[in-house]
Amino acid sequence: MDLETVLMIHIGFILIFIHFNIGAIGQVSPQPLDICELRGTVYIEEDPDMANFFLYEEESEAFADFLIFETDNALFATEPGVWYFTDQRGFADFTVYFVESKGQADFTVYFTSFESFAGCNR
């Protein structure tokens, strides 16, 4: 095989690779995150740039978007709104940062004493 043939084969493979990758990218659309499904192990960030979500803690259950029940065991944080807080970011399913202003929050939360109340409040 001469150099021109080898180059044409390589260019053909590259074009096929690009074609299939662009097609796959065009067909995949990210699913919107449903905050009502948040559960699991949570790390409270001190750096807002590292947080997955900004939360504002409401003083009243009636005005919160989401009710959180804090469990003492990560194994029980399997239902929406049941969260286990960890001191180690590496063990967290997601991270949060508590903001001072409601307008800065992705959603508002209220900590409930009853596990059965945990979850969306909308």
Question: Which of the pair, 25 or 11, is modelled with greater confidence?
Answer: 11
SS3 string of 80-97?
A: CCEEEEECCHHHCCEEEE
pLDDT tens digits, 41-94: 999 999 999 999 999 999 999 999 999 999 999 999 999 999 999 999 999 999
- Looking at the structure, do residues 16 and 57 belong to the same domain, yes or no? no
pTM for the model stands at: 0.73
Residue 94 neighbours by CB under 8 Å, 6+ apart: 38, 40, 42, 43, 52, 53
- Looking at the structure, do residues 66 and 17 belong to the same domain, yes or no? no
Of 116, 117, 6, 96, residue with least CA distance to 46: 96
- Looking at the structure, do residues 82 and 107 belong to the same domain, yes or no? yes
What range defines the domain where residue 89 resides?
A: 35-120
- Looking at the structure, do residues 26 and 39 belong to the same domain, yes or no? no
State the total domains in the chain: 2
Q: Which residues pair with 44 in a beta bridge?
A: 96
What gap in Å lies between CA 84 and CA 68, rounded to an integer? 10
Q: Which residues pair with 109 in a beta bridge?
A: 57, 66
- Looking at the structure, do residues 22 and 52 belong to the same domain, yes or no? no
User: Cβ(84)–Cβ(76) under 8 Å?
Assistant: yes
- Looking at the structure, do residues 72 and 93 belong to the same domain, yes or no? yes
Q: In the predicted model, what is the mean pLDDT of the chain?
A: 85
Of 47, 121, 52, 43, residue with least CA distance to 77: 43
- Looking at the structure, do residues 113 and 66 belong to the same domain, yes or no? yes
Q: What are phi and psi of 36, to 5 degrees?
A: -65, -15
